[in-house]
């Protein structure tokens, strides 16, 4: 299971953007949001589980940022990884 680390969420929409190329390796992936507040505490401390096939097939919006195609997923849709 591959781990994908997101540096910072998209605050305006309370979502994350995942590089579509990272999702082309089908299967389950762990996802971490590494962003920390001013006190050094992770705002989203959980590890999440995503299935790339489901994410790619679901009609989540896409956007391009710095020549990278991103799939935009609301944080509320992420499933906590039980490990």
Q: Tell whether the model's pLDDT for residue 83 goes beyond 80.
A: no
- Domain range for 26 is 2-80
Q: Tell whether the model's pLDDT for residue 23 goes beyond 90.
A: no
* pLDDT averaged over every residue in the chain: 93
Q: What is the pLDDT of residue 25?
A: 78
Kindly report, residue by residue over 24-36, the tens digit of the pLDDT.
878 899 999 999 9
Closest alpha carbon to 33 in 42, 20, 23, 21: 42
Number of domains in the chain: 1
Query: What is the pTM assigned to this prediction?
Result: 0.86
């Amino acid at each position: 299971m591959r781990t994908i680390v997101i540096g910072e969420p998209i605050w305006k929409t309370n979502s994350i953007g995942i590089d579509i190329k990272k999702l082309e390796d089908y299967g389950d992936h762990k996802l971490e949001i590494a962003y920390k507040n001013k006190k050094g505490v992770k705002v989203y401390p959980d590890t999440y589980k995503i299935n790339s096939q489901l994410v790619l097939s679901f009609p989540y919006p896409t956007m391009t940022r710095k020549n990278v195609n991103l799939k935009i997923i609301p944080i509320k849709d992420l499933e906590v990884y039980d490990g």
